[in-house]
């Protein structure tokens, strides 16, 4: 029964992907390419590329894509449902605990330390994204001068607009996308 197989595979992916994002790629590959041959390795590489180009978590993107390829739209619904089911159960339980006990001074103290860690993690993600945007790869290249000038200008302009006028990030992103297309069409860069 293909629907049950999809459901079970993506439940496993949902449970096992802790840390999110790129940590889940090998897990998805193990289920979708190695265990079930639902996608070839080339198709899998395609879906990871597309996942980076589209909004939303990679696991949800993969679930939708695999589901459609294997069993049409119902397959996509089942796979996506499987993917989020573990999160829903676990996170709602944690949410209940958080709102029940966050007033306790011990919990308060632990949370105040976790806030520091969260800021550190977001800072690390921000640096990775800056490198990706400037150089098109996740690793800093040896030649720092090979920076993409359009990206650098858009980054600086967005940063100033966000800090100074507190413009909604969604508008900043839309304008940046449009600006990049305009620069490409006019100057060919």
Partner 1 sequence: MNKLLNLFISTLKISAFTFGGGFVIVPLMRKRFVEELGWIDEQEMLDLTAIAQSSPGAIAVNASILVGYKVAGFGGALLTVLGTIIPPFAIIGVISLFYKAFRDNVIVSVALGGMLASVAAVLCDVVITMASSIFKKKALPIIMMVLSFVAVRYLKINILLVILFCAAIGVLDALYENRRTKHDLS
Q: Is 126 exposed, middle or buried (0-12, 13-18, 19+ CB in 10 A)?
A: exposed
Tell which positions 68-107 bind partner 1, by CB under 8 A.
68-69, 73, 76, 80, 83-84, 86-88, 90-92, 94-96, 98-99, 102, 105-106
Q: Give dist(CA 94, CA 75) in Å, integer.
A: 30
**Span near partner 1 by CB under 8 A; candidates 1-9, 29-37, 109-117, 137-145:** 109-117
> Residue 22 — left, alpha, or beta (φ > 0 → left; ψ -120 to 50 → alpha)?
alpha
- Sign of dihedral through CA atoms 54, 55, 59, 65? negative
- Binding flag, residue 19, partner 1 (CB under 8 A): yes
Closest approach, Cβ 116 to partner 1, in A, equals 4
> 142, 144, 145, 163: which one contacts partner 1 (CB under 8 A)?
163
The one segment of 1-9, 33-41, 137-145, 175-183 that binds partner 1 by CB under 8 A:
175-183
- Non-local (6+) Cβ contacts of 73 within 8 A are 67
Q: What's the min distance (Å) between Cβ of 23 and partner 1? A: 9
Q: Between 35 and 111, name the residue whose CB sits nearer to partner 1.
A: 111
Cβ at position 174, least distance to partner 1 in Å? 8
∠ CA 25-30-32 to the nearest 5 degrees? 90
CB within 8 A of 115, min separation 6: which ones? none
Which residue from 126, 138, 140, 146 is in contact with partner 1, where contact means CB under 8 A? 126
Confirm if 44 and 24 have CB atoms less than 8 A apart.
no
Q: Are 63 and 76 in contact (CB under 8 A)?
A: yes
Binding mask 40-69 for partner 1 (x = CB under 8 A): ------xx-xx--xxxxxxxxx--xx--xx
Q: 36 vs 77, which CB is nearer to partner 1? A: 77
Q: Which stretch binds partner 1 (CB under 8 A): 1-9, 20-28, 30-38, 138-146?
A: 20-28
């Amino acid at each position: 029964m293909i629907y049950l197989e999809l459901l079970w595979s993506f439940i496993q992916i949902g449970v096992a992907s802790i840390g999110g994002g790129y940590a889940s790629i090998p897990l998805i590959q193990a289920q979708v390419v190695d265990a079930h041959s639902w996608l070839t390795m080339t198709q899998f590489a395609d879906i990871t590329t597309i996942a980076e180009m589209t909004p939303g978590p990679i696991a949800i993107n993969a679930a939708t894509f695999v589901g459609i390829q294997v069993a049409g739209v119902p397959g996509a619904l089942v796979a996506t449902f499987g993917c989020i089911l573990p999160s829903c159960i676990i996170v709602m339980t944690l949410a209940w605990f958080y709102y029940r006990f966050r007033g306790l001074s011990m919990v308060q103290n632990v949370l105040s330390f976790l806030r520091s860690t969260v800021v550190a993690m977001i800072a690390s993600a921000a640096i990775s994204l800056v490198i990706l945007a400037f150089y098109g790869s996740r690793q800093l290249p040896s030649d720092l001068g090979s920076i993409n000038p359009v990206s650098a200008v858009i980054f600086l302009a967005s940063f100033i607009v966000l800090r100074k006028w507190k413009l909604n990030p969604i508008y900043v992103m839309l304008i940046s996308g449009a600006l990049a297309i305009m620069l490409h069409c006019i100057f060919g860069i």
